[in-house]
Amino acid sequence: MRFFLLVTPFLWMLCEADVIVVKEMFGEIRTPNFPESYPSETEVTWNITVPEGFRIKLYFIHFDLEPSYLCEYDYAKVETDEQILSIFCGRESTDTEQSPGQQVIVSPGNFLSLTFRSDFSNEERYTGFDAHYSAVDIDECSERNDEDMVCDHHCHNYIGGFYCSCRFGYLLHSDNRTCKVECSDNLYTQRSGIISSADFPSPYPKSSDCLYRIELEEGFVINLQFDDNFDIEDHPEVSCPYDYLKIKAGRKGFGPICGEKSPG
């Protein structure tokens, strides 16, 4: 009896530390002794890591664990480094406990941890589980939503990553996602002409820094007239904190101008 008392805590500590680090792109995870019944008082964790740009898909082709209320005795726990995704036990799902059935678990990131735990008895000789996992590519391009677009213009997914590109006439910003217009080098020398913001009448592109120069021969003055269709982002209290138009003519300066009212 004394021997038993001494040995049990030691074994428990040993089992607690049983973590198997897995770095393969696919594989099979089985309970100890599978397909024979699993040992009692066992805890094993498989920590699966796949490269960035991939997720982990996990499903069970066989599942047979001792059922218990809220899976408090034997269980299989699937978690990320931040949250528990599922706790399974039994053979079939009940109101209070879940068994995985045909469910396919997909990790939110490139890490997934699967823990198998059994308590002191496995009297009915439950056989445990046989799980399979594989790395699946994240299609970053199809995950865009309007709030947080992956790329400004074109998104290209490849296995393990993605990249952005821009429409003709635009340059990729150093953030590798935003497209900015190339418009800093415009010279107008004709006696009349039209200048409009990039993409006009569609919204102008973000991160733009455009310069338009008008230069005529000596003896002319320049008359600049704005269309009524004028719209530059403004602010109700602060004067043109985001976007603006500025005009310089010799020593004279106009602006910053913003808002919806055309300067005429």
Ligand X SMILES: *[C@@H]1O[C@H](CO)[C@@H](O)[C@H](O)[C@H]1NC(C)=O
Question: In this chain, which of 1, 5, 13, 21 binds ligand X, going by CB under 6 A?
Answer: 21
Q: Is the CB of 12 or the CB of 226 nearer to ligand X?
A: 12
Measured from the Cβ of residue 73, the count of other Cβ atoms closer than 10 Å reads: 18
The yes or no reply on residue 47 touching ligand X (CB under 6 A) is: yes
- What three-state secondary structure class fits 149? coil
Query: Is residue 171 involved in binding ligand X (CB under 6 A)?
Result: no
Find all residues with CB under 8 Å of 39, minimum gap 6, and list them: 32, 33, 118, 122
What is the contact mask toward ligand X in residues 110 to 149, using x (rule: CB under 6 A)? ---x------------------------------------
* Cβ closest to ligand X, residue 49 vs residue 93: 49
Shortest distance in whole angstroms from residue 171 CB to ligand X? 13
* Nearer Cβ to ligand X (19/104): 19
Element containing residue 7 per DSSP (H, E) = helix 2-16
Least distance in Å: CB of 49 to ligand X? 8
Cβ atoms of residues 187 and 213 within 8 Å: yes
Q: How far is the CB of 106 from ligand X (least distance, A)?
A: 17
- Min dist. Cβ of residue 107 to ligand X (A): 11
Residue 176: CB minimum distance to ligand X, A: 4
Query: Which of 126/170 has CB closer to ligand X?
Result: 170
Let me know: does 114 contact 45? Beta carbons within 8 Å: yes
Give CA 201 to chain center in angstroms. 33
DSSP sequence for 40-106:
SSEEEEEEEE--TTEEEEEEEEEEE----GGG-SSEEEEE-SS-EEEEE-SSS--SS-B--TT-EEE
- Please identify, using beta-carbon distances, which residue of 15 and 240 lies nearer to ligand X: 15
The 81-110 site mask, x for binding ligand X (CB under 6 A), equals x-----------------------------
Please give the residues from 174 up to 203 whose contact with ligand X meets the rule CB under 6 A.
Answer: 175-176
Q: Could you say whether residue 52 binds ligand X (CB under 6 A)?
A: no
**6 Rama class: left (phi>0) / alpha (psi -120 to 50) / beta:** alpha
d(CA 152, CA 158): 18
Does position 45 bind ligand X by CB under 6 A?
yes
Of the candidates 7, 11, 14, 19, which one interacts with ligand X according to CB under 6 A?
19
Nearer to ligand X, 143 or 175 (CB): 175
Longest dimension (CA), the chain: 112
Nearer to ligand X, 93 or 157 (CB): 157
Please tell me whether residue 140 adopts helix, strand or coil conformation: helix
Answer whether 170's CB lies under 8 Å from 184's CB: no
Binding site for ligand X (CB under 6 A): 19, 21, 45, 47, 79, 81, 113, 175-176
